[in-house]
Amino acid sequence: MQLDLASDRGAVTAEFMLLLPALIMLFSVVLGSVSLAVERIALEYKAFEIARQSAIGIDVPVDPALRVDFSNEGRLECFRVQKQLVIPISTKICLLPIGR
């Protein structure tokens, strides 16, 4: 008894072609998430740098791609730094002024 497997030719190729767009989409989402996390870390660092230099009395040049809002909350000086990417990201840093 011999089975006729001619009808199964190309089945692996068809399954691979159905799976390939999903794999590409998954890879893109993971890569985008990592990129967004790196941008978030860089924004946190830049916001802390702006707040620290302002707290000790040094004027810091601000990147034109960033939007910096200043506010006082009691004795604290707070800075909200925003950056527009695919989605807007923002952070808020508050420090005591010691240099003035």
- Entry pTM: 0.72
Helix/strand/coil percentages in the chain, nearest 5:
50, 25, 25
Phi, psi of 82 (to 5 degrees): -125, 145
The predicted-structure confidence for 39-68, as pLDDT tens digits, reads as follows 999 999 999 998 898 888 888 788 888 999
pLDDT of res. 14: 84
DSSP class of residue 86 equals: S
Closest of 93, 58, 53, 60 to residue 77, by C-alpha: 93
| Strand-strand pairing, 76-84 and 66-73 | antiparallel
pLDDT of res. 16: 87
pLDDT of res. 9: 74
Closest of 97, 95, 64, 99 to residue 82, by C-alpha: 64
Whether residue 1 is predicted with pLDDT greater than 60 in this model: the reply is no
Cα(5)–Cα(81) distance, rounded to whole angstroms?
Answer: 64
